[in-house]
Structure 1
Amino acid sequence: MSKTISASDLGIHLKKDDESALFKWFIASFLMGKRIQAEIAAQAYRVIVEKHGRDSAQKFASCSHRELVVMLGEARYVRYDETTATRLLGLSKKLRDEYAGKIGHIREVSDDRQAFEQRLREFDGVGPKTVEIFMRDAAGVLY
């Protein structure tokens, strides 16, 4: 059984209206929501967000699919690297195009927590597990 990794374990300090922290935790949650060891997912987060500075939907926009696959490989996140790269790029594009790049905007247009979680699941590759991981730490600052 792999250890549960929290936002603070990754150095992400969630605060109300801190879009940068919410985005980083959403990316980390997405990576950990897959059938992959939590430590490898955490390493992929560190490589993509900390080492390569892809810490906003805007910064993901300047990243090619190939560059993202290389970053995932660097973290040994190789089992699903192609689909994960595609989905991460799609996720950041959808967030940028539909919600001005902000998790807070998803919250603002959602009537309640259930509606918010449903909107999260509308992102390609985001399922119940990713939402559960994300909300475990983010619910306190969102609701």
Structure 2
Amino acid sequence: MTSQRRLARAVLDEAGRTLAQEAGVRLADRPAPLWQLLMLTNLLSARISARIAVAAERELTAAGGTTPSGMCDLTWQQRVDALGRAHYVRYDESTATRLGECARMVLDDYRGDLRRLPSVGRHDARGLRRDVQRFPGIGPTGADIFCREAQAVWDWLRPYADRLVIKGAERVGLPADAGKLADLVEPAETASLAAGLVRVARDDELAKRVGSLATTG
């Protein structure tokens, strides 16, 4: 195994858990889990910790918001209460409103199925970033989150590596190139590697640990 492959493996072993996995979303190329990813993306787009956003996803799912219809069936107060149980404070009321708007948009514009987004049919990664940003509350950072995670089930989206993924790669001496990074792991691991590299980009101690493991592995 080459040194770069060892580094990539260390990233996967130490930090290669996607946000969807943390939130309990069984991501698949189906309407419900894709909606759940969009919901998670919206939650992560506020100025709040990923840990709290993941907890909020779990609470909203438990309350019945697993589909756009289910989210619309929840009252605004039920959404606020679910967010409160996850300690999603300061943004709970505005986020409850946005989630309802997003769910209604998915139902009205795409018949409840994000696979009907124009960019998905065209296999257009740049277009997908634009399409996702049409949803209330999701900006460029959220679009990157959605695409990083969605590449786990949409192979046409692979490899997707935004600036945070590249920053993490550079910190541990991996290639600053999406294609070269993808070549270091199995196709099904590309999203996990991206998730791990984002954590590496944000955590000095993790970056050092990954480098140490790759050296001693």
CA contact (8 A) 1:5 1:38 kept: no
How far the C-alpha of 1:139 sits from its partner, in A, is 2.3
SS in 2 for 1:79: coil
Change (3 A) 1:116 1:110: farther
Change (3 A) 1:111 1:137: closer
Partner of 2:149: 137
SS in 2 for 1:55: coil
Partner of 2:31: 19
User: Normalised by the size of structure 1, how large is the TM-score?
Assistant: 0.87
Residues 1:76 and 2:87 are matched in the alignment: yes
Query: In the alignment, residue 126 of structure 1 is paired with which amino acid?
Result: I
- Counterpart CA distance in 2 for 1:81 and 1:132 is 23
Q: Which one has the largest radius of gyration?
A: 2
How far the C-alpha of 1:83 sits from its partner, in A, is 0.7
Partner of 2:173: none
4+ residue segments displaced more than 4 Å: 107-111
How far the C-alpha of 1:112 sits from its partner, in A, is 1.4
Q: How many residues align?
A: 139
Partner of 2:43: 31
Please report the RMSD computed on the Cα atoms of aligned residues, expressed in angstroms: 1.9
Residues 1:7 and 2:20 are matched in the alignment: yes
Give the structure with the larger helix fraction: 2
CA contact (8 A) 2:23 2:55 kept: no
Change (3 A) 1:79 1:139: same
SS in 2 for 1:141: coil
Deviations 1:67-102 (A, max 9, x none): 111111111101101110111000000011001111
Partner of 2:75: 64
- Counterpart CA distance in 2 for 1:66 and 1:6 is 26
Query: In the alignment, residue 71 of structure 1 is paired with which amino acid?
Result: A
User: Normalised by the size of structure 2, how large is the TM-score?
Assistant: 0.59
- Counterpart CA distance in 1 for 2:116 and 2:95 is 24
Partner of 2:128: 116
- Counterpart CA distance in 2 for 1:34 and 1:46 is 17
Deviations 1:39-60 (A, max 9, x none): 11111001001x2121000111
Q: Unaligned 5+ residue runs, structure 1? A: none
Q: Unaligned 5+ residue runs, structure 2? A: 1-14, 157-217
Partner of 2:181: none
